[in-house]
């Protein structure tokens, strides 16, 4: 079975702190994604990566950066956390796909609260 | 930008009844996928239907796709209390690359025992 793990289930940080969210997948997937999920807004794509050291902005990249130094690991970084970044963060991975998008496999999520 | 719009936003039914959720989208797609999310957890893939397919079944799930109307429906037959969850459609927009999906806002399904 595909396994996508996230470093924390719950995280509480203070405004201005630098926050690292880690995601690891064990299926040799090329693609990895970071979403945030807020009530009434569904899932919104923050960043994604289709290869090591490659990254693409999603719909809401402001205030976030990412790092992919190894194929299995994709990190989301909040350089200076703010209260409006309080949210559920979901990581996902998938194969690159041939001509169309493959199934995405999700981690359990990290609920981040910024005080 | 939101591609998939789901209807209804919430659905409450009794065990044994069928549940139907609808998804509309705006652009041409390669495929459309449905996911399920239990409260406070990650999403789990349910079924994928390609743009050249009209209907697909998986167990108690039936998905239809009408590309002329840019809409899809997910039918869960003989629902169970364990089906209580949020259900999301996600579209793979034609012309995009690298496996991006655009998710709808979801339908919250509650199945009462």
**All structural domains of chain A with their residue ranges:** 4-97+106-114
Q: Please tell me the predicted confidence (pLDDT) of residue B98.
A: 66
Inter-chain residue contact A103 with B45, CB threshold 8 Å: yes
With b meaning 16 or more CB within 10 Å and e meaning fewer, what string describes B20-56? bbbbbbeeebbbbbbbbbeeebbbebbbbbeeeeeee
Q: Please tell me the predicted confidence (pLDDT) of residue B100.
A: 84
Residues of A in contact with B28 (CB under 8 A): none
Hey, what are B9's tokens? Answer: 């936003």
Asked if pLDDT for residue A88 goes beyond 70, the answer is: yes
Inter-chain residue contact A59 with B105, CB threshold 8 Å: no
Which candidate, A42, A26, A39, places its Cα nearest to that of A105? A26
Q: Which CATH fold topology does A4-97+106-114 show? A: Immunoglobulin-like (2.60.40)
Hey, what are A47's tokens? Answer: 């960043």
Decide if domain B5-112 falls under CATH 2.60.40.10: yes
Instruction: Categorize the per-residue pLDDT at A99 as very low, low, confident or very high, splitting at 50, 70 and 90.
Output: low
A101 against B13, higher pLDDT:
B13
Q: Counting Cβ atoms within 10 Å, is residue A23 exposed (0-12), middle (13-18) or buried (19+)?
A: buried
For the residues A29-53, what does the mean pLDDT come to?
92
Q: Where are the domains of chain B?
A: 5-112
Q: How far apart are CA B111 and CA B76, in angstroms?
A: 11
Instruction: Give CA separation, A44 vs A48, A91, B11, B62, B89, in Å.
Output: 11, 11, 23, 26, 13
Q: How far is B47 from chain A (nearest CA, A)?
A: 9
Inter-chain residue contact B43 with A92, CB threshold 8 Å: yes
Asked if pLDDT for residue B2 goes beyond 80, the answer is: no
Which pairing describes strands A105-106 and B5-7: parallel, antiparallel, or unpaired? unpaired
Asked if pLDDT for residue A9 goes beyond 90, the answer is: yes
Contact B32, B73 (CB under 8 A): no
Q: How far apart are CA A8 and CA A87, in angstroms?
A: 13
A59: nearest CA partner in chain B: B1
State residue B6 phi and psi, 5-degree precision: -110, 150
Which pairing describes strands A42-49 and B19-24: parallel, antiparallel, or unpaired? unpaired
Instruction: Give CA separation, B47 vs A21, B43, B58, B79, B89, in Å.
Output: 29, 12, 7, 17, 10
Write the residue in B43, B99, B105 that is nearest to A41 by C-beta: B105
For the residues A43-64, what does the mean pLDDT come to?
93
């Amino acid at each position: 079975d595909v396994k996508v793990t996230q470093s924390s289930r719950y995280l509480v940080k203070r405004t201005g702190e630098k926050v690292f969210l880690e995601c690891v997948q064990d299926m040799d997937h090329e693609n990895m994604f970071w979403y945030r999920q807020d009530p009434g807004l569904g899932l919104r794509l923050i960043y994604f990566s289709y290869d090591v050291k490659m990254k693409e902005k999603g719909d809401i990249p402001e205030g976030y950066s990412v790092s992919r130094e190894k194929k299995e690991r994709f990190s989301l970084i909040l350089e200076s956390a703010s209260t409006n970044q309080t949210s559920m963060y979901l990581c996902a991975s998938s194969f690159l796909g041939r001509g169309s998008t493959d199934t995405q496999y999700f981690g359990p999520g990290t609920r981040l609260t910024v005080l | 930008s939101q591609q998939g719009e789901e209807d209804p936003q919430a659905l409450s039914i009794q065990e044994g009844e069928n549940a139907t959720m609808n998804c509309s989208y705006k652009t041409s797609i390669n495929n459309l996928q449905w996911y399920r999310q239990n409260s406070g957890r990650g999403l789990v893939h349910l079924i994928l239907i390609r743009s050249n397919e009209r209907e697909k079944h998986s167990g108690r799930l039936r998905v239809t796709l009408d590309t002329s109307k840019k809409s899809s429906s997910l039918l869960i037959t003989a629902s169970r209390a364990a089906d209580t969850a949020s259900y999301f459609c996600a579209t793979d927009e034609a012309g995009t690359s690298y496996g991006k999906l655009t998710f709808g806002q979801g339908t919250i399904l509650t199945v009462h025992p």
